[in-house]
Amino acid sequence: MITALLVMIFLAILLGLVLGYSAIKFKVDGDPMVARIDAILPQTQCGQCGYPGCKPYATAIAKGEADINQCPPGGDAGAKALAELMGMEFKPVNEKHGVQKPKSVALIDESTCIGCTLCIQACPVDAILGAAKQMHTIIASECTGCELCLPPCPVDCITMEPVLENSESWKWKYPIYNIQKAQKA
Amino acid sequence: MQLKNIFKFNGGVHPDENKIASTRLPIAKLAIPKKLVLPLRQHVGHVAKVKVKPGDQVFKGQIIAEADGNISAAIHAPTSGRILKISEEILPHPSGLPDFCITLEADFKDTWIEKKPIPWKKIEKTQLIETLSQSGIVGLGGAVFPTHMKLKTNQKQTIHTLVINAAECEPFITCDDMLMRERADEIIRGSLIAQTILGAEKCVIGIEDNKIEAYEALKKAAQKTTVEITVVPTLYPSGDAKRLIYLLMGIEVPKEKRSVDLGIQVFNVATVAAIYRYLEFGEPSISRIVTITGAVKTPQNYEVLFGTPLSELIKAAGGSSNKQKKFIMGGPMMGFDLPSIDVPVTKAMNCVIESSPELFPTPKPVMPCIRCARCADACPVNLQPQELYWFSKSSQLEKAREYNLFDCIECGCCTYVCPSNIPLVQFYRYAKSEIIAQDKSKEAANTARERNEFRLARLEREKKERAERHAQKALGAQDKQAEDDKKSTIAAAMERVKQNQQENIKN
Ligand code: SF4
Ligand code: SF4
Ligand code: SF4
Ligand code: SF4
């Protein structure tokens, strides 16, 4: 009887130590749910969801403060993925926040740019190169197409150019044909 | 010609061969065209870097675009002449989209740049591979992977067997067959060179048993050499590298692994012949053998300079005999419909078939999948095509990936046997390119996240620094105040002392 009790106590202490140790050793930084939601969000960082970026929106969803259909760049596909992750009912993107547009990148008309640096301050991913009073350029490969640089420009020299399909980014299309019903014997 | 020790793979089909028509005549040389259009993207990897500008005079064999990095291939002028322009032109690609090309106007003198044979036996290996990277040679079987990369070996990766792919299993295509019949010698010599460079102990040529003449020619050329020639039964797709390795050696290359991981390298016959011509005569890759067949008047194989307009080749073969004017590039199983005939002949173009209602009747109506699993029986990679079809059709892309979609070699055996006439491969192509695009945008999102986090961290840091500076200034101001106070006290004291002294003097 005593031995059994001792064994149990010993085991309890041992397991407690193991658990306590692993809780410290394998501690996950931050909220894993936020990271998983953030992984689905398109990282355009445009703020159309009503939050100052994708991560803050992800945090708000995780806390249950925001709905899952507020991200226009993610589109319905993104909302679907979020619904799946959160175990919620899918709903299409709320048009109040905007509509999904084809992927575009910003282009600065370099002859008009006055070098005011206002767009640099607005760009969430540092995709604009330039210095005071010098012409600015956008690194197209880093631009997320968030359009945040458009309003601050005092001379309206930035436009959004849709990214065209080239022979490298070209995709095979979904096959289209009619399926015929099997004939009855 | 006997079959020996063959390890048969699962599945495979026997489509009509349709090869005889284009083997009746020997390989002919197609005349130099007025204009040649050379795409910068003719190979797998980085686009070649342009080295000429409009107006430049170039010689035959001169590099006009050089390899950009390791996985890339140079492009040479196929004949002498003048560079006209560098512009976007339509490529022989299923997309029909334009891409950058160099246009060369021939001067019909066909003057070679000085040809430099390479004493490859004496050169150190890394240097030899460096030289080969200037040759412009890519896999001519259709994979167009830069060949010099495949000749690289290192301590971790040694090659024991070199397999030369002479199977040419796809219907209609006979360019390798004719090359073997007419230039077996070049192939054998090229194979021996590749074997030496790789340091492989063995070199085996695998050829299908429907190419008797080619086999005899190879056997004759290989006399007194160590090159083995093994005949494999005619069964599509025995020309797929992994299938051929299994047929010849009974070694199954596991998925996710490449054959080189198991010490086996595979080259196409035309590729080794090109290696031979480059090293022995200093002739870079400027032409290839192309089969033109199908509904054209005289199906034949032509040696065609890269950049030649396809319309010239069609004209040489007797023009198109029907109004439909549909052309397929590659074979009927794995090829695709050409967007136009105003495209240049490229390194990847092994065969062009003119379609006709007799040869390729309009596909029968598609019916629902009846789960007969005939596709699974025919699949040489042992996939479950009906499942892949289901997932691709419903765009459950992750599921399709889980079911090894990317192991599918798009051979078309499943489509060929499907009693419901479902164009299965089209679905796999769609699903694959969709997944690749999604992966790319995921990657882009990840960089955007990183850059955004970096920016936020930077802003945070700058804010802190600013705050610190302010604090410093405020502190500095206080110090100054204190110092000023002190100074003024001292000054006042001094003043008082002075006054006292003066008063004392007065007194
Ligand atoms: S709308 Fe979407 S892309 Fe834009 S910041 Fe919000 S979550 Fe990011
Ligand atoms: S350049 Fe403009 S559109 Fe592009 S990411 Fe920066 S702010 Fe957004
Ligand atoms: S062969 Fe066609 S009908 Fe039969 S299981 Fe495969 S896809 Fe379905
Ligand atoms: S196309 Fe793909 S799925 Fe169909 S038989 Fe070939 S390897 Fe198998």
In this predicted model, what pLDDT tens digit does every residue of B347-364 receive, in sequence order? Answer: 999 999 998 888 888 888
For residue A46, what is the domain's CATH number?
Answer: 1.10.15.40
Give yes or no for residue B63 CB within 6 A of ligand 3: no
User: Above 60 in pLDDT, residue B1?
Assistant: no
Ligand 3 centre from B451 Cα, in Å?
47
Give yes or no for residue B413 CB within 6 A of ligand 4: yes
Average pLDDT, chain B: 90
User: Above 70 in pLDDT, residue B497?
Assistant: no
Written as one letter, the residue type at B171 is P
> Which phi and psi angles does B498 have, rounded to 5°?
-55, -50
The residues that bridge with A105 in the sheet, in sequence order, are: A161
Give residue B435's pLDDT.
94
Q: Which of B350, B288, B353, B357 is nearest to B314 (CA)?
A: B353
Say whether both A115 and A135 belong to one domain: yes
Give yes or no for residue A59 CB within 6 A of ligand 1: no
Q: Is A167 on the interface with B (CB under 8 A)?
A: yes
Say whether both A77 and A112 belong to one domain: no
Question: Which of B449, B453, B458, B459 to mutate to test binding with chain A, by most A CBs within 10 Å of its CB?
Answer: B449
User: Above 70 in pLDDT, residue B482?
Assistant: no
- On whether the CB atoms of residues B107 and B55 are closer than 8 A, the answer is no
Across the range B425-445, mean pLDDT stands at: 93
Determine the Cα–Cα distance for residues A98 and B290; give it in Å rounded to an integer: 53
- Give the dihedral of Cα atoms A22, A28, A29, A34; nearest 10 deg: -160
Q: Is B419 on the interface with A (CB under 8 A)?
A: no
Give residue B90's pLDDT.
92
Give residue B320's pLDDT.
66
pLDDT band at B476 (very low <50, low <70, confident <90, very high): confident
Give yes or no for residue A128 CB within 6 A of ligand 2: yes
Nearest-by-Cβ selection for A166 from B97, B426, B454: B97
Q: Which residue has the tokens 């490969």?
A: A141
Give residue B413's pLDDT.
95
CB contact under 8 A, A125 and B423: no
For residue A111, what is the domain's CATH number?
Answer: 3.30.70.20
3 state SS of B229: strand
Residues of A in contact with B454 (CB under 8 A): 126
Output the residue whose Cα is nearest ligand 1's atom 3: A44
- On whether the CB atoms of residues A127 and A144 are closer than 8 A, the answer is yes
Determine the Cα–Cα distance for residues B68 and B64; give it in Å rounded to an integer: 13
User: Above 80 in pLDDT, residue B506?
Assistant: no
Nearest-by-Cβ selection for A45 from B97, B427, B452: B452
Residue A26 lies in a domain: no
B357 vs B60, more confident: B60
Give residue B502's pLDDT.
64
The runs of H, that is alpha helices, within A46-162 are 54-62, 75-86, 118-122
Determine the Cα–Cα distance for residues A44 and A100; give it in Å rounded to an integer: 12
Instruction: Give how far Cα B320 sits from Cα of B21, B363, B426, Å.
Output: 16, 22, 27
Say whether both A139 and A121 belong to one domain: yes
Q: Sketch out chain B's domains with CATH numbers.
A: 20-31+135-337 (3.40.50.11540), 372-507 (no CATH)
Longest dimension (CA), chain A: 91
Structure tokens at B396: 């459950």
Residues of A in contact with B99 (CB under 8 A): 166-167
Q: Which residue has the tokens 């798009």?
A: B410
Residue A20 lies in a domain: no
> Which phi and psi angles does A47 have, rounded to 5°?
80, 10
Say whether both A70 and A119 belong to one domain: no
pLDDT band at B489 (very low <50, low <70, confident <90, very high): confident
Q: Which residue has the tokens 């390798």?
A: B176
Q: Which of A1-10, B139-148, B409-418 has the highest mean pLDDT?
A: B409-418
Give yes or no for residue A78 CB within 6 A of ligand 1: no
Containing structural domain, residue A58: 32-97
How many Å lie between the alpha carbon of A183 and the closest alpha carbon of chain B?
10
Give residue B402's pLDDT.
92
Ligand 4 pocket check: which of B236, B414, B424, B426 to mutate, most ligand atoms within 8 Å of Cβ? Answer: B414
Say whether both A42 and A93 belong to one domain: yes
Q: pLDDT averaged over consecutive 10-residue blocks of chain A (185 residues)?
A: 88 89 73 88 92 92 90 91 90 90 89 88 89 82 91 92 85 79 59
Determine the Cα–Cα distance for residues B41 and B33; give it in Å rounded to an integer: 21
Output the residue whose Cα is nearest ligand 1's atom 7: A54
Residue B40 neighbours by CB under 8 Å, 6+ apart: B47, B48, B50, B65, B75, B99, B100, B101, B102
Instruction: Work out which ligand 3 atom sits closest to the CA atom of B376.
Output: 6
Q: Domain boundary at A81, A97, A113, which?
A: A97
pLDDT band at B4 (very low <50, low <70, confident <90, very high): low
Q: Which residue has the tokens 């300079």?
A: B305
End-to-end CA distance of chain B: 141
Residue A89 lies in a domain: yes
User: Above 90 in pLDDT, residue B80?
Assistant: yes
CB contact under 8 A, A182 and B368: yes
CB contact under 8 A, A45 and B430: no
Give yes or no for residue B457 CB within 6 A of ligand 3: no
Ligand 3 centre from B373 Cα, in Å?
5
Output the residue whose Cα is nearest ligand 1's atom 2: A71
Instruction: Work out which ligand 1 atom sits closest to the CA atom of A48.
Output: 1
Say whether both A91 and A113 belong to one domain: no
Give yes or no for residue A160 CB within 6 A of ligand 2: no
Question: Which of A40, A141, A172, A180 to mutate to test binding with chain B, by most B CBs within 10 Å of its CB?
Answer: A172
How many Å lie between the alpha carbon of A47 and the closest alpha carbon of chain B?
13
Question: Which of A85, A126, A168, A174 to mutate to test binding with chain B, by most B CBs within 10 Å of its CB?
Answer: A174
pLDDT band at B152 (very low <50, low <70, confident <90, very high): confident
Give yes or no for residue B25 CB within 6 A of ligand 3: no
Q: What is the β-pairing status of strands B49-50 and B63-66?
A: antiparallel
Give residue A181's pLDDT.
64
3 state SS of B35: strand
- On whether the CB atoms of residues B248 and B239 are closer than 8 A, the answer is no
Say whether both A114 and A72 belong to one domain: no
Across the range B326-343, mean pLDDT stands at: 91
Q: Is B41 on the interface with A (CB under 8 A)?
A: yes
Output the residue whose Cα is nearest ligand 2's atom 2: A149
Render B258-290 in DSSP notation, one character per residue: -GGGGTEEEEEHHHHHHHHHHHHH---S-EEEE
- Scanning every residue of chain A, which has its alpha carbon at the shortest distance from the alpha carbon of B436? A171
Tell me the pTM: 0.83
Angle at B269 between CA B73 and CA B42, to 5 degrees: 25
CB contact under 8 A, B452 and A53: yes
Instruction: Give how far Cα B4 sits from Cα of A132, B210, B233, B248, Å.
Output: 77, 15, 10, 9
Across the range B352-380, mean pLDDT stands at: 90
Rounded percentage of chain B residues whose pLDDT exceeds 90: 68
Say whether both A78 and A42 belong to one domain: yes
User: Above 80 in pLDDT, residue B120?
Assistant: yes
User: Above 80 in pLDDT, residue B33?
Assistant: yes
Q: Domain boundary at A79, A97, A115, which?
A: A97
- On whether the CB atoms of residues B311 and B292 are closer than 8 A, the answer is no
Q: Is B494 on the interface with A (CB under 8 A)?
A: no
Strands lying side by side in the sheet with B57-58: B35-39, B98-106, B81-90, B57-58
Across the range B484-507, mean pLDDT stands at: 67
Residue A106 lies in a domain: yes
- On whether the CB atoms of residues A159 and A106 are closer than 8 A, the answer is yes
CB contact under 8 A, B423 and A175: yes
Residue A171 lies in a domain: no
Q: Classify residue B89 by burial, with Cβ atoms within 10 Å: 0-12, 13-18, 19+.
A: middle
Determine the Cα–Cα distance for residues B260 and B267; give it in Å rounded to an integer: 12
Say whether both A106 and A158 belong to one domain: yes
Ligand 1 centre from B241 Cα, in Å?
46
pLDDT band at B480 (very low <50, low <70, confident <90, very high): low
Say whether both A79 and A134 belong to one domain: no
Q: Is B459 on the interface with A (CB under 8 A)?
A: no
Residue A179 lies in a domain: no
Say whether both A76 and A36 belong to one domain: yes
User: Above 80 in pLDDT, residue B322?
Assistant: no
In this predicted model, what pLDDT tens digit does every residue of B265-315 receive, in sequence order? Answer: 999 999 999 999 999 999 999 999 999 999 898 999 999 999 999 999 999
Ligand 1 centre from A74 Cα, in Å?
7
Determine the Cα–Cα distance for residues B238 and B89; give it in Å rounded to an integer: 35
Determine the Cα–Cα distance for residues B250 and B200; give it in Å rounded to an integer: 18
3 state SS of B165: strand
Determine the Cα–Cα distance for residues B298 and B21; give it in Å rounded to an integer: 8
Residue A109 lies in a domain: yes
Query: Total domain count for chain A?
Result: 2
Give residue B70's pLDDT.
85
Reported ipTM: the value is 0.78
Give yes or no for residue B418 CB within 6 A of ligand 4: no
Q: Classify residue B388 by burial, with Cβ atoms within 10 Å: 0-12, 13-18, 19+.
A: buried
Say whether both A91 and A43 belong to one domain: yes
Q: Is A165 on the interface with B (CB under 8 A)?
A: yes
Residue A145 lies in a domain: yes
